[in-house]
Structure 1
């Protein structure tokens, strides 16, 4: 089986393409009638879904994995633990599942990239949902200890800490909306102004 497109995507750190590449390869192999379960890169496939935030597809993949694979490959089960925590929105559990396994060389870079992306997503979630939040809750969402949550990353983003209450005031990012000009509306406006002038 030719996994070169997948290998190339991993090597170039094009992690956003992993899930689609795996899906295409799986369909191609299935169409050719080739048995592929034993050598399929299930861990990479699951992690690819997590990277693009497609938890439903990850669940369906997990259900299709033969029980012999689930029983014999601890890394597949470890990858699925991340998915379980994502599904239940157990934010701290996602980080625990990431850190709780010694990932193979093949999966390490993708796991690290997903962890970084997931932290960014959580940070954006906090900024959009909260005006103030406790350092304890911030630590839970961002997968770090309370001191790091209070003094490192969030303060770089302009958040301020009230040391007495251990509450962080969230600095909202300016919301920039891009206006798009509709050519037909521009034409209508031009005709209207022309009509007023003449």
Structure 2
């Protein structure tokens, strides 16, 4: 089977495209092999993580269910990737970082794991930004998968403020973009124009 589209996407760090590439290759491979199992050579760990990377946990879950038990037994990396997926599926957000750090990833998948970790940290930051006005340093560190000093440094760079007495972080909300309002004279001219068109 020709894995060059996947190899090229990994080499160019086009991680957002990998899930679709793997889905296409799997369909093509299944058609070409006509029932001959190709489980041994299929990059299940990359395919599974690619769906997780694009935040498509439903597809990851269905892929996991379709992976033969023999593959799961022989490829612990596939099981480790699903460990990340399980945490996401159950919304155990803080445990996702633990699942990432708990496995010694192969050289082939490590860059994708690192990229997912970075994207996931940004997603968690956005979640904290939208959900909290104040949050403890300890909880922030848990969500961001960092130690308390690194988490504090990370959010301070985003404009948050730390209250040294309570050890709480004050969340700096992003400014809401307001729609440009139409002034009344423009609205009046528009109304007159529409009136003339109708009569």
Cα distance in structure 2, aligned partners of 1:18 and 1:189: 52
SS at match of 1:38: coil
* 1:44-101: CA deviation from partner (whole Å, max 9, x where unpaired): 0011001100001111111111111111111111111111111111122111111111
Post-superposition shift, 1:191? 5.8
Alignment pair present for 1:193 and 2:192: yes
Other-structure match for 1:118: 120
- Asked if structure 2 preserves the Cα contact closer than 8 Å seen for 1:49 and 1:55, the reply is yes
| Change beyond 3 A, Cα 1:190–1:51 | farther
- Asked if structure 2 preserves the Cα contact closer than 8 Å seen for 1:91 and 1:143, the reply is no
Q: How do residues 121-160 of structure 1 correspond to structure 2 at under 5 angstroms?
A: 121-150=123-152, 152-160=153-161
Which structure 1 segments of 5+ residues have no match? 180-187
Post-superposition shift, 1:177? 5.7
Other-structure match for 1:58: 60
Alignment pair present for 1:6 and 2:28: no
Alignment pair present for 1:82 and 2:81: no
Cα RMSD after superposing both structures: 2.0
Q: How do residues 4-83 of structure 1 correspond to structure 2 at under 5 angstroms?
A: 4-32=4-32, 33=34, 34-83=36-85
Other-structure match for 2:184: none
Other-structure match for 1:164: 165
SS at match of 1:39: coil
Runs ≥4 residues deviating over 6 A: none
Cα distance in structure 2, aligned partners of 1:114 and 1:155: 23
Cα distance in structure 2, aligned partners of 1:74 and 1:107: 13
Other-structure match for 2:111: 109
**TM-score normalised according to structure 1 size:** 0.89
Cα distance in structure 2, aligned partners of 1:64 and 1:115: 25
Residues matched between the structures, number: 188
